[in-house]
Structures are given as C-alpha cells and as structure tokens.
Amino acid sequence: MTRFAILATLALLPVSDVRAQAPTQQSPAASVPRLPSVTLPADLDRVLRDYERLWKAGDGTGLAALFTEDGFIARPGGWIRGRAEIAPAYQAMARGDLLLRALAYAAGDTVGYIVGAYGYGETASTRDQGKFVLTLRRQRGGPWLIASDLDSAIR
C-alpha cells in the first residue's frame, strides 16, 4: 500500500469526538521557523515517551510492540511492514538520546495522528533534526498503537 493510499484511507475513516490542535500561522520567510510544541493528552503522550525510552535503550523488540501487528515504518529502500520486520530494523539503528516533541495532533475513538519533530542530545531542546508523522489506531478504550511512522531528517 502506498503512502498516499494509507493517508487516503485514514482520511476516509469516520472519526467521532475529534480532539485536535489548532493550526498555527507560518510566515513565508526564506527559512522555516521552529514551530512551538503542543501538549498532548496523556494517552497520546505515552506513545512518544515510550518510543523515546525504548529508543534510548536500543530495544527493537520493545519499539516494535508500540506498533499495530501490521504497522509500517518507512526506510530509504521502501516500507517495512509488521512487528516481526520492524523489531530487527529498529534493533539495528535504535540508540541515542532521542527527544520527540509534538507539533499537532488529532484523535477520535479509534484513529489519530501526531505530527512532530525530533532531535538528539543537548541540542534537541533548541534545534530540530528531523520531522515525523505517526498515524495511530486503537481498539475502543485500549492503548494507542502506531499504525505507521514516517520520518525524515531536516536537511
């Protein structure tokens, strides 16, 4: 399934009781300003904090458990799908003082997303090194799981 197809499918899913962060105005300046962080509801924030903790520990299996059984991660060669494939991919690259921050989000009963930025080490609090979009799913009342993780470095 292509990235467009995933996003189009998510856009068509019914979402009731949507909570969302209001968009911010952005000036058309030559360089893009660092957008402010938003505060996530606790159940969404847990996803980011667990991701950071497991990344720092280099725990590929733990990171894969944050995903739906059929979850996706994007890599330069294409998509990797499913926890069984995500675990070794993350095991090979996860390590470092990762800091994730949310820029926007929306969440309904069973689907949601987080748009954010990331950085590493001491500069993470003042300089973004990359950006991400997490699409999320959950069973009613259950914990949020990552359906897809699309990220890229800021060049």
pLDDT at 31: 66
Dist. CA 150–CA 131, nearest whole Å? 8
Q: Which residues contact 122 (CB under 8 A, 6 or more apart)?
A: none
Identify which of 44, 22, 38, 17 has the alpha carbon closest to the alpha carbon of residue 108. Answer: 17
Q: Which two tokens stand for residue 130?
A: 């990359």
Strands, E assignment, the chain = 19-20, 67-75, 78-81, 98-107, 111-120, 130-137, 145-153
Q: Which residues contact 111 (CB under 8 A, 6 or more apart)?
A: 10, 13, 15, 135, 136, 137
> Which stretches of the chain are DSSP H helices?
3-12, 42-57, 60-65, 83-93
* pLDDT score of 94 more than 80: no
Q: What is the pLDDT of residues 41-90, one digit of tens each?
A: 999 999 999 999 999 999 999 999 999 999 999 988 899 999 999 999 99
Q: How much is the pTM?
A: 0.79
Sign of CA dihedral 11, 12, 13, 16: positive
Range name among 10-19, 86-95, 125-134 with the lowest pLDDT average: 10-19
- The domains found in the chain, sorted by start residue, are 43-153 (3.10.450.50)
pLDDT at 126: 86
Identify which of 28, 37, 16 has the alpha carbon closest to the alpha carbon of residue 102. Answer: 37
* pLDDT score of 11 more than 50: no
